[in-house]
């Protein structure tokens, strides 16, 4: 039997690469490029764990579960712009025709009568990835060259119909179906096909498992029989319920250490042995996606390996910086403790060639440019809440070409636990920085006042105001670079970012207390700033987005929680997907 939905593109006689696998699976979550034909009227599953978690092998690299509720799929198609909707529909039609229509299946007739509320697709890591990686890590190509497999778990709500379909599958265009038994479970698999060889088994009368290789089917049966599935993987059962939602559209799980091993074995982008060892401290990343009236929400959780010696500091003290910046702020990123954040970044990024900024290079650069030691002179007093914001300074009268913005950094000078101010230490470091700007770079360092409060301006040798620094509320240091927008934060603005409707409707209020928040007004930012291209079709996706908000917190000594909301534009679209018959007629013209 051909699977009704497969998220991984296949090439003849060749398994997909890790990049293609993760890209395709990510597309399922972010853009919803999965089969819209997986529809039937039914209630949403109420389980707290990923569907099929007791069947998917525990070393699975990635798993994604998607609803089969037709109303939710229609709601998804109403988000975005005409361009994003057309792209979504094109992907849905291609998947439907490839994995259903081309194999003689019709979802409503052959699948809907028996399939359950959600279906799960998992990518199994190569067998070598679950073993210890031989040294040296950078020269091992075994795991990279080994094959990955796909496992699909379809819950069965009508066992009799499922049994009949499995007993009498459609005739293959090439090859034939054969029957065999493994651990007492009947398996039907294709033989003699060009490309992937499909294999299907009904487990416990409740789950139809479809894979792209006989070995993957055996691995799934072993995981179920031996209780070595995702459900028994360290931290999975404890953390997944934290993000459960009865009205979910989809869920996903990423096995961090397994992904790290595969990356380490890749001949193209190898990870050093010390980085691989650091990543072994992390165990999983999971998320739940729900569709709301104005956009898409992701609730996420990440957790450490239960055997890891590393623990997290349960310190959630952020949440005030959005009340220090004005309503017109385009972007704000805040956190609870800059010193701790930097320490965590160094722990996971030191020696990692994939890190955006090498910690050693940043520390060396600061030392070279300012003579300041990042750890001793700066981070030693930056233990309170911090934020980085982009604030516009558009003239009241002028053309759009007059648009300018300032970058604002704020940090509370305090002891993380005692709370006492460390302003004296901070002022000593800032004075040293003023001296460097004056003596080494020939800037004018000029005391001034804004709204009656003292500030210090840095004026370039060309006479242009380059930066301003000062204090807010006695213990919050700020630095403004770029457009002169100090008057927008001094004194504290009456209309703050926290009071605006876009912020309140986009940035989640949970978890609370929080250790960090993020807000981005996508519409205004894209209209005024050229952004670097980071992902395919980036401009099209940004054009469909209004704003993005995130709130995070340390849940306990082993896990972090995240709540992300993406506010999207909507275009009413009641047009159904093109039928297989119309596609066939159009292709013959």
Q: What are phi and psi of 203, to 5 degrees?
A: -100, 125
In the structure, what pLDDT confidence band is assigned to residue 359 with cuts at 50, 70 and 90? Answer: confident
In the structure, what pLDDT confidence band is assigned to residue 344 with cuts at 50, 70 and 90? Answer: confident
CA distance 544 to 188: 44
Query: Mean pLDDT, to the nearest integer, of 426-430?
Result: 95
Q: Name residues whose C-beta falls within 8 Å of residue 18's C-beta, 6 or more positions apart in sequence.
A: 61, 144, 148, 262, 263, 266
pLDDT value of position 73: 86
CA distance 180 to 153: 19
**pLDDT of 139 over the 60 cut:** no
Between 46 and 435, name the one with better pLDDT: 435
Q: Where is average pLDDT lowest: 66-80, 448-462, 512-526? A: 66-80
Between 402 and 144, name the one with better pLDDT: 402
- Helices vs strands, H then E, count in the chain: 16, 20
Length of the chain: 589
pLDDT value of position 267: 65
∠ CA 176-180-181, rounded to 5°: 160
The rounded Cα 240 to chain-centroid distance in angstroms is 16
Q: Residues 234, 236, 237, 242: is their CA dihedral positive or negative?
A: positive
pLDDT value of position 4: 35
Q: What are phi and psi of 152, to 5 degrees?
A: -115, 130
Between 189 and 36, name the one with better pLDDT: 189
**pLDDT of 96 over the 90 cut:** no
pTM of the complete model: 0.82
Other CB atoms closer than 10 Å to residue 354's CB: what's the count? 9
CA distance 234 to 556: 15
In the structure, what pLDDT confidence band is assigned to residue 196 with cuts at 50, 70 and 90? Answer: low
Could you tell me the CA-to-CA distances from 512 to 24, 58, 286 in Å, in that order? Answer: 34, 32, 20
In the structure, what pLDDT confidence band is assigned to residue 417 with cuts at 50, 70 and 90? Answer: low
pLDDT digits (tens, 9 = 90+) for 306-326: 888 888 999 898 999 999 999
Could you tell me the CA-to-CA distances from 563 to 29, 172, 286, 296, 552 in Å, in that order? Answer: 15, 46, 12, 11, 6
**pLDDT of 28 over the 70 cut:** no
- Give kind and range of the element (H or E) at residue 482: strand 476-482
Q: Is 543 helix (H, G, I), strand (E, B) or coil?
A: helix
Burial 319-345 (b: 16+ CB within 10 A, else e): bbbbebbbbbbbbbbbbbbbbbbbeee
Q: Where is average pLDDT lowest: 136-140, 298-302, 444-448? A: 136-140
CA distance 50 to 55: 10
pLDDT digits (tens, 9 = 90+) for 561-571: 999 999 999 88
End-to-end CA distance of the chain: 31
**pLDDT of 290 over the 80 cut:** yes
**pLDDT of 369 over the 60 cut:** yes
pLDDT value of position 262: 75
Q: Name residues whose C-beta falls within 8 Å of residue 137's C-beta, 6 or more positions apart in sequence.
A: 264, 265, 270, 271, 272, 273, 276
In the structure, what pLDDT confidence band is assigned to residue 145 with cuts at 50, 70 and 90? Answer: very low
Query: Mean pLDDT, to the nearest integer, of 111-139?
Result: 69
Q: What are the structure tokens assigned to 154, written together?
A: 């379809």
Q: Where is average pLDDT lowest: 47-51, 330-334, 512-516? A: 47-51
**pLDDT of 20 over the 80 cut:** no
Could you tell me the CA-to-CA distances from 158 to 35, 42, 211, 351, 539 in Å, in that order? Answer: 21, 13, 21, 53, 44
**pLDDT of 448 over the 70 cut:** yes
pLDDT value of position 30: 34
Query: Mean pLDDT, to the nearest integer, of 516-533?
Result: 88
pLDDT value of position 52: 94
pLDDT digits (tens, 9 = 90+) for 474-504: 899 999 999 999 999 999 999 999 999 999 9
Q: What are the structure tokens assigned to 187, written together?
A: 């398996």
**pLDDT of 585 over the 60 cut:** no
pLDDT value of position 587: 45
Task: Please choose, from the candidates 452, 477, 326, the residue with its C-alpha nearest in 3D space to the C-alpha of residue 393.
Answer: 326
Percent of the chain past pLDDT 70, that is, above it, reads: 78
Between 91 and 289, name the one with better pLDDT: 289
Between 564 and 257, name the one with better pLDDT: 564
∠ CA 230-305-223, rounded to 5°: 20
Helical H segments across 150-301, by residue range: 159-167, 214-226, 236-239, 256-265, 273-279
pLDDT value of position 177: 87
Mean pLDDT of all residues belonging to the chain? 81
pLDDT value of position 15: 40
**pLDDT of 199 over the 80 cut:** yes
Percent of the chain past pLDDT 90, that is, above it, reads: 49
Residue 169 DSSP code: P
Q: What are the structure tokens assigned to 395, written together?
A: 């003239």
In the structure, what pLDDT confidence band is assigned to residue 275 with cuts at 50, 70 and 90? Answer: low
Q: Where is average pLDDT lowest: 179-183, 254-258, 335-339, 475-479? A: 254-258
Beta partners for 410?
Answer: 387, 478
Q: What are phi and psi of 62, to 5 degrees?
A: -155, 145
Query: Mean pLDDT, to the nearest integer, of 291-305?
Result: 94
In the structure, what pLDDT confidence band is assigned to residue 558 with cuts at 50, 70 and 90? Answer: very high
Q: Is 193 helix (H, G, I), strand (E, B) or coil?
A: coil
- Give kind and range of the element (H or E) at residue 122: strand 118-124
């Amino acid at each position: 039997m051909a699977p009704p939905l497969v998220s991984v593109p296949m090439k003849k006689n060749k398994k997909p690469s890790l990049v293609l696998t993760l890209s395709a699976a990510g597309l399922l979550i972010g853009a919803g490029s999965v089969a819209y034909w997986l529809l039937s009227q039914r209630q949403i599953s109420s389980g707290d764990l990923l569907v099929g978690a007791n069947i998917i092998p525990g070393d699975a690299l990635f798993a994604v579960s998607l609803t089969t509720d037709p109303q939710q799929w229609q709601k998804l198609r109403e988000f975005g712009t005409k361009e994003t909707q057309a792209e979504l529909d094109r992907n849905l039609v291609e998947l439907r025709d490839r994995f259903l229509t081309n194999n003689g299946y019709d979802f409503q007739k052959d699948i809907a009568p028996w399939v359950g509320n959600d279906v799960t697709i998992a990518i199994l890591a190569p067998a070598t990835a679950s073993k210890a990686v031989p040294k040296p890590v950078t020269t091992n190509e075994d795991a990279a060259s080994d094959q990955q497999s796909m496992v699909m778990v379809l819950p069965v709500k009508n066992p009799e119909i499922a049994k009949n379909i499995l007993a009498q599958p459609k005739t293959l265009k090439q090859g034939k179906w054969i029957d065999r038994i493994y651990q007492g479970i009947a398996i039907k698999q294709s033989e003699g096909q060009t490309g992937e060889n499909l294999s299907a088994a009904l487990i416990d009368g409740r789950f139809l498992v479809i894979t792209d290789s006989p070995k993957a089917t055996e691995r799934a049966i072993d995981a179920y029989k031996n209780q070595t599935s995702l459900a028994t993987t360290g931290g999975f059962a404890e953390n997944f319920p934290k993000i459960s939602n009865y009205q979910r559209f989809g869920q996903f799980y990423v096995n961090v250490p397994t992904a790290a091993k595969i990356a380490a074995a890749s001949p193209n982008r190898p990870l050093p042995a010390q980085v691989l060892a650091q990543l072994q401290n992390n165990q999983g990343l999971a998320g739940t996606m729900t569709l709301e009236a104005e956009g898409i929400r992701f609730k996420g959780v990440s957790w450490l390996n239960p055997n890891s010696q590393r623990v997290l500091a349960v310190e959630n003290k952020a949440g005030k910086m959005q009340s220090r910046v004005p309503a017109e702020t385009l972007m704000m990123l805040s956190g609870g403790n800059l010193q701790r954040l930097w320490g965590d970044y160094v722990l996971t990024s030191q020696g990692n060639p994939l890190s955006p900024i090498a910690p050693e290079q940043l520390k060396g650069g600061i030392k070279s440019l300012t003579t300041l030691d990042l750890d001793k002179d700066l981070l030693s007093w930056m233990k309170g809440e911090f934020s980085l914001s982009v604030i516009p300074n558009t003239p009241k009268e002028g053309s759009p070409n007059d648009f300018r913005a300032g970058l604002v950094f704020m940090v509370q000078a305090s002891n993380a636990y005692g709370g006492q101010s460390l302003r004296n230490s901070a002022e000593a470091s800032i004075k040293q920085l003023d001296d460097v700007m004056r003596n080494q770079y020939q800037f004018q360092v000029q005391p001034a006042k804004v709204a009656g409060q003292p500030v210090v301006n840095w004026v370039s040798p060309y006479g242009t105001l380059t930066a301003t620094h000062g204090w807010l509320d006695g213990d919050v240091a700020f630095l403004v670079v770029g457009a002169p927008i100090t008057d927008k934060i001094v004194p504290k603005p009456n209309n703050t970012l926290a009071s605006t409707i876009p912020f309140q409707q986009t940035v989640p209020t949970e978890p609370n207390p929080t250790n960090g928040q993020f807000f981005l007004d996508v519409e205004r930012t894209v209209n005024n700033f050229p952004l670097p291209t980071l992902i395919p079709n980036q401009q099209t996706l940004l054009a469909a987005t209004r704003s993005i908000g995130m709130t995070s917190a340390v849940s306990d000594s082993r896990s972090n929680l995240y709540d992300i909301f993406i506010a999207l534009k909507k275009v009413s679209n009641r047009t159904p997907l093109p039928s297989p018959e119309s596609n066939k007629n159009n292709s013959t013209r």
